[in-house]
């Protein structure tokens, strides 16, 4: 026999949000690494992650990266529609460089007005400045063609590049499979003797997990795409975590701007 179903008469109270802080993530359809890094570095009882994915087709070329720009607004609109976010991160370093930080932010804000927008390239530049680094080494997994805009980006941002090394890969899924031990050795080899810090580009790489280990090996700060993006997103949430396992960057505060 079906029981009678009654509606409770006790009054309900509601919190302003289900979770205090909201971090939106726009990921490439092929991304294997960002969610794992953000779950480890950003998510907590206070901070929720709300992710969506954007269509993307390999190989990693400037043309294919630029093709994502018209899809950014639609992707942003899918993250908690009609609700505010504390910050949105577009998790692709090379695409944010090719499209441009301002263009990325404008596209996302067309769907989420006034939201702070984090790109990995800008977060990395802010991180390097926060650490006091001006002369840097750069390691990317890309081809020389895709690496060239990255070199221009950091040069135009005022950094002196002591060395720039690329691994020559064209598929971000293959980049994600590079063993962490291999990343450490590649990072050590890519660091010039006179570099003040090392930047490891690409959200596909699992370099955030080994940033502290690389710092021990080279004796200098290491900034990676996902590490810097997570750091910047937490800053927009008003949080400076105590995470020595995430590298020196996480011991420093970022002065946030929208």
CATH number where 154 lies = 3.40.50.12500
Last residue of one domain, picked from the residues 95, 119, 143: 119
pLDDT, averaged across the chain: 95
What percent of the chain shows pLDDT beyond 70? 99
pLDDT digits (tens, 9 = 90+) for 204-223: 999 999 999 999 999 999 99
Residues 237, 41, 252: CA angle, nearest 5 degrees:
65
- Mean pLDDT over 182-193 rounds to 98
Helix ranges (H only) for 132-190 are: 144-156, 172-176, 180-190
In a domain, residue 243? The reply is no
Q: Is the pLDDT of residue 258 over 60?
A: no
Q: Are 138 and 115 in the same domain? A: no
- 247: in domain: no
Residue 245 lies in a domain: no
> Which of 70, 96, 119 corresponds to the end of one domain?
119
Tell me whether residue 234 is in a domain.
no
Quick check: 169 pLDDT over 90?
Answer: yes
pTM: 0.94
* Whether 126 and 223 share a structural domain: yes
Same domain for 67 and 160, yes or no, is no
pLDDT tens, position by position, 50-69: 999 999 989 999 999 999 99
Residue 197 preceded by cis peptide, ω within 30? no
E strands, the chain, in order: 21-28, 47-54, 87-90, 117-118, 135-140, 160-166, 197-200, 222-224
CA-to-CA separations, 249 to 57, 95, 125, 126, 206, in angstroms, rounded: 32, 23, 12, 10, 17
Number of folded domains in the chain? 2
Residue 94 lies in a domain: yes
Q: Is the pLDDT of residue 95 over 60?
A: yes
Does one domain contain both 134 and 159? yes
Share of the chain above pLDDT 90, in %: 92
Strand-pair partners of 23? 49, 87
168: domain range?
122-227
Task: Compute the half-sphere exposure of residue 210: CA atoms within 13 Å on the CB side of its CA.
Answer: 19
User: What are the pLDDT digits (tens) for 96-112?
Assistant: 999 999 999 999 999 99
pLDDT confidence of residue 1: 80
**pLDDT at 55 (0 to 100):** 94
* Beta carbons of 72 and 64 less than 8 angstroms apart: no
Please check whether residues 66 and 155 belong to one and the same domain: no
pLDDT of res. 257 = 61
- Quick one: DSSP state of residue 4? P
Within a domain: residue 8?
no
């Amino acid at each position: 026999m079906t029981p009678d179903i009654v509606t409770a008469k006790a009054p309900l109270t509601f919190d302003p949000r289900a979770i205090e802080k909201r971090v939106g993530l726009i990921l490439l359809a092929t991304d294997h690494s960002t969610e794992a890094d953000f779950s480890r570095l950003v998510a907590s009882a206070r901070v929720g992650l709300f992710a969506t994915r954007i269509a993307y087709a390999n190989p990693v070329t400037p043309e294919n990266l630029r093709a994502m720009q018209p899809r950014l607004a639609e992707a942003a609109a899918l993250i908690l529609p009609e609700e505010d976010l504390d910050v949105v991160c577009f998790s692709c370093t090379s695409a944010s460089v090719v499209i441009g930080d301002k263009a990325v932010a404008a596209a996302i804000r067309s769907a989420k007005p006034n939201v702070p927008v984090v790109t990995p390239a800008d977060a990395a530049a802010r991180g390097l400045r926060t650490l006091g680094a001006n002369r840097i080494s750069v390691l990317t997994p890309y081809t020389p063609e895709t690496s060239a805009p990255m070199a221009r980006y950091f040069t135009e941002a005022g950094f002196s590049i002591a060395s720039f090394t690329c691994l020559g890969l064209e598929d971000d899924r293959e980049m994600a499979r590079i063993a962490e031990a291999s990343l450490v050795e590649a990072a050590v080899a890519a660091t010039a003797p006179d570099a003040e810090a090392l930047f490891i580009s690409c959200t596909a790489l699992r370099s955030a997990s080994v940033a502290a280990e690389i710092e021990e090996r080279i004796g200098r700060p290491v900034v990676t795409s996902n590490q810097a993006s997570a750091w910047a997103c937490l800053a927009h949430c008003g949080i400076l975590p105590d995470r020595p396992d995430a590298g020196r960057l996480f011991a420093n505060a970022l002065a946030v701007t929208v």
